Chain A
Amino acid sequence: MLTAIFALLALAVVFGLILGFAAIRFKVEGDPVVDKIDALLPQTQCGQCTFPGCRPYAEAIAKGEAEINQCPPGGETTIQALADLLGRDPLPLNEEHGEHTGKTVVHIIEAQCIGCTLCIQACPVDAIVGAAKQMHTVIDDECTGCNLCIPPCPVDCIVIVPVEEDLQSWKWPYPAMASGDKRP
């Protein structure tokens, strides 16, 4: 009787120590779900989801404060991926937040730029170069197409241009659409 009690007690202590050690040693910093959600978001940082950037939106989704259908740049693909990750039902994109369009970037019409630096301050990814009273320009490769630079521009010299497909980003079409008249 006594042996059994002591044996169980000893086991309890040992496992308690192991668990206690593991809790400290393998402590996960931050919320890993947020990182996973953030990894699926397009990182446009446009704020159309009403949160100030992709990470705050990811945090809100993780806390259950936001739906998964508030990201227009990600569109259906992102919604599907988030639904798969979180085990929720995919929802159609909430139109209040905007429409899913193809990838775009902005260009500055350089002849009209007055060098006010307002767009540079608005850019969330530092994709605009320039200085006060100097012409500004957009680094195409870094522009996420968030369009946050457009409202502050006092002379409306920023235009949205669609990203054209190049040889690197070209994709073979889905066969159902191509099998009509073309050979493989």
Chain B
Amino acid sequence: MKQPLSTFFGGLHLKGHKTDSMRQSPKVLPLAKQLVFPLDQHLGQPAEPVVKFGDKVLKGQLIARRGGPISAAIHASSSGTVIAIEDRPINHPSGMQATCIVIETDGEDTAVDSNHFADYYNAEPAALRDTIRDAGIVGLGGAGFPTFIKLTPTTGKAIETLILNGAECEPYITCDAMLMQTRALDVLRGADIICQAVQAKQCLIGIEDNKATAIAALHEVLQAQQFRHPIEIVTIPTIYPTGGERQLIKVLTGHEISARQRPMDVGLVCQNVGTAVAVADAVLQGQPLIERLVTVTGNGIKTPGNWLVRLGTPLRDLLAPHDIDCRRHDIIIGGPMMGFTIDDTQAPVVKTTNCLLIQTRQVAMPAMPCIRCAECANVCPAQLLPQQLYWHARARDFDKIQDYNLFDCIECGCCAHVCPSHIPLVQYYRFAKTEIWNRELEKQKADRARERHEFNLLRHELKKQEDEERRRKKKELLNRAQGKTESETDSKKAAIEAALARARAKKEAMAVAPKNIDQLTEEQQKQIDAAKARRRQHEQDKV
């Protein structure tokens, strides 16, 4: 596998800002008093709690199981008591609250018994995938897609190559670099296990050339140890966003994966190095995903560094050693390009939290009109037309914007970074994406309502027919029980009809006119008129 590297379209050379947080080896954050586990911290359906209020849980114990086919299990990251399952602030751009399991730690950190694979070389791929699934591992690069799904073959095409993503292209973030540096053996073992789980023939680890120490550490272990699958470490140029899945695949293999394809369709599987370490922990030690490295950095932090943090630890605990003023600093989850700001530091660290970036708040440059310079189109790694997307998002023309392939946008932020008019382009795309998803959801709901309404009408119609039928049958039954035939009832009906008709005729004949008024005297006529007038008067009074 000595083919020359490709390049992807667009991209940016950004200032790294990585050395500050790489000076010290990772420190272990003291155990928090309370751990908060949002049920919805991965892509797909939220997890379902399997513990209840007051339950004692141990470190590594399952507290929420997968809530659907695309979902991930959640484990307690330390021992303690479940003190609540309620809405808590989570780290999400909306600043909303969501259902979380809250555990009060007892400080003993007792772990559950775990079983692990002594010999993963000869393990069944399916058994390895099950272990990865049960350990609740999701993509730790940022998206949080459940890992076992990406490892389960669906296309029937054999997996050629596992690509391990160690690019970590976004400025400031160093948790993956630190992980490769300090746990090189586990990165490589994890890669070996994933290769076994997907039956890949080889593994390529792509690392940007600004991480020399990490590359050296991996090389050292690679030479000292034997692995079952051939693993190659490839140094790639530092261009943002090389860490994007499609971009990295393009650089390493030259494959350009279309929007409708997945890497698996061309025989590739791409995983983050952090995920590989989590896999190694799960398979070799039986430890589910309960901790991760988090970079705490930014110009608002005096001592940037990486911390080994238990999942569920409130961000506040991570920020406690630093003097941070929420009025002067922005707290950004993720990097400066793709991250989002949050306000509530009670939100916990979740599986996908890779970086806490504390930046001095700057007044955002006011957005000026687009001058059609097309800088954005030159840097877009997805080769979209950001200008066109912007116009249509601004005009809320959600059909047109999809014609320009909005959903291929990876929100890398290159376009907004180079925009001379400081237009918050990515915000427009995010707005349009969520708006379209929402409309789709509403449409689905409307379709269901239509179906239910149509069924409701049908049901009422059927019920009416049934009632009619029943009434008719009952009548028939009644008639038969009384020994009457159809004709008998008919003749009776006819007789009644005739009688009624006679009575009506008689009444009519009688009502034609009073017979005794043709020979009235004048006095009698007057009397009658007076009586009539009185009656009218009386009636008027009543009105």
Asked whether, in the complex, the Cβ of B438 is within 8 Å of the Cβ of A169, the reply is yes
B contacts with A: majority SS: helix
What is the minimal beta-carbon distance from A34 to any residue of chain B, in angstroms? 13
Is B234 located at the chain interface by the 8 A CB criterion? no
Name the contact of B453 in the complex, choosing from A125, A167, A174 (C-beta under 8 A): A125
Query: Interface readout for B449-470 with A: 1 if CB under 8 Å, 0 if not?
Result: 1101101110100000000000
**Residues B427 and A167 in contact, CB atoms below 8 Å apart:** no
Highest count of chain A CB atoms <10 Å: which of B364, B424, B438, B449 = B449
Q: Contacts A167-B96, A172-B434, A183-B330; is A43 near B424 (CB within 8 Å)?
A: no
Known: A126-B455, A175-B424, A183-B330. A167 touches B364 (CB 8 A): no
Q: How far is the CB of A49 from chain B (nearest CB, A)?
A: 14
Closest chain-A Cβ to B454's Cβ sits at a distance in Å of 8
CB<8 Å pairs between A and B, sample of 24: A41-B446, A43-B453, A44-B449, A54-B450, A123-B456, A126-B456, A127-B452, A142-B448, A142-B449, A165-B94, A165-B96, A167-B40, A167-B96, A167-B98, A168-B441, A171-B435, A172-B430, A172-B433, A173-B431, A175-B431, A179-B427, A182-B341, A183-B362, A184-B426
The residue that A43 contacts in the complex, of B426, B427, B434, B450, with Cβ under 8 A, is B450
The residue of chain A having its C-beta at the shortest distance from the C-beta of B332 within the complex is A183
- Give the interface of B toward A (CB within 8 A): 40, 92-94, 96, 98, 330, 332, 341, 362, 364, 366-367, 413, 416, 424, 426-428, 430-431, 433-435, 438, 441-442, 445-450, 452-453, 455-457, 459
Q: Name the residue of chain B whose CB is nearest to the CB of A165.
A: B96
A42–B94 Cα distance when bound, in Å, is: 26
A 145-171 to B, binary, CB cutoff 8 A, 1 in contact else 0: 000000000000000000001111111
Q: Complex: how many Å from CA A126 to CA B451?
A: 11
Q: Does A53 contact B (CB under 8 A)?
A: yes
Contact of A170 among B96, B341, B459 (CB under 8 A): B96
Contacts between chains A and B (CB distance < 8 A), count: 88
> Which B residues are in CB contact (< 8 Å) with A142?
448-449, 452
User: A184 and B438: CB pair below 8 A?
Assistant: no
CA distance A77 to B96 in the complex (A): 26
A124 within 8 A of B: yes
Residues A171 and B427 in contact, CB atoms below 8 Å apart: no
Complex-state Cα separation, A41 to B430, whole angstroms: 26
A43 touches B447 (CB 8 A): yes
Distance from B447 Cβ to chain A, minimum over Cβ atoms (Å): 7
Q: Give the complex CA separation of A178 and B452 in angstroms.
A: 39
User: Within A87-118, which residues are at the interface with B (CB < 8 Å)?
Assistant: none
A137 close to chain B: CB less than 8 A: no
**Which chain A residues lie closer than 8 Å to B94 at the CB level?**
165, 167, 170
Q: Which residues on B sit within 8 Å (CB–CB) of A123?
A: 456
Partner of B341, one of A43, A124, A174, A183: A183
> In the complex the two chains form, is A45's CB within 8 Å of B93's CB?
no
Give CA–CA (A123, B456) in the complex, Å.
9
Contacts of B438 in A (CB 8 A): 169, 171
- Report whether A124 and B456 are in contact in the complex, using a CB–CB cutoff of 8 Å: yes
Which residues of B have CB within 8 Å of A170?
Answer: 92, 94, 96, 434
Write the chain A residue with the least CB distance to B436.
Answer: A171
Q: Cβ of A168: which chain B residues have Cβ within 8 Å of it?
A: 441
- What separation, in Å, do the CA atoms of A165 and B428 have in the docked complex? 20
- Across the interface, which residues of B come within 8 angstroms of A124, CB to CB? 453, 456
Which A residues touch B446, using CB under 8 A?
41-43
A144 in contact (CB, < 8 A) = yes
Question: Is B434's CB under 8 angstroms from A184's CB?
Answer: no
In the bound complex, what is the Cα–Cα distance between A123 and B442 (angstroms)?
20
Contact of B434 among A44, A53, A171, A179 (CB under 8 A): A171
A125 touches B364 (CB 8 A): no
In whole angstroms, what is the CA distance A42 to B364 when docked? 39
Contact pick for B449, options A144, A167, A172, CB 8 Å = A144
Residues of chain A within 8 A of B362, CB atoms compared? 183
Give min CB distance, B67 to chain A, whole Å.
13
- The residues of B that contact A125 with a CB separation of less than 8 Å are 449, 452-453, 456
Instruction: Chain B residues near A127: list those with CB within 8 A.
Output: 452
Contacts A142-B452, A172-B427, A178-B424 known; list 5 others, CB within 8 Å: A38-B450, A125-B449, A126-B455, A175-B427, A182-B341
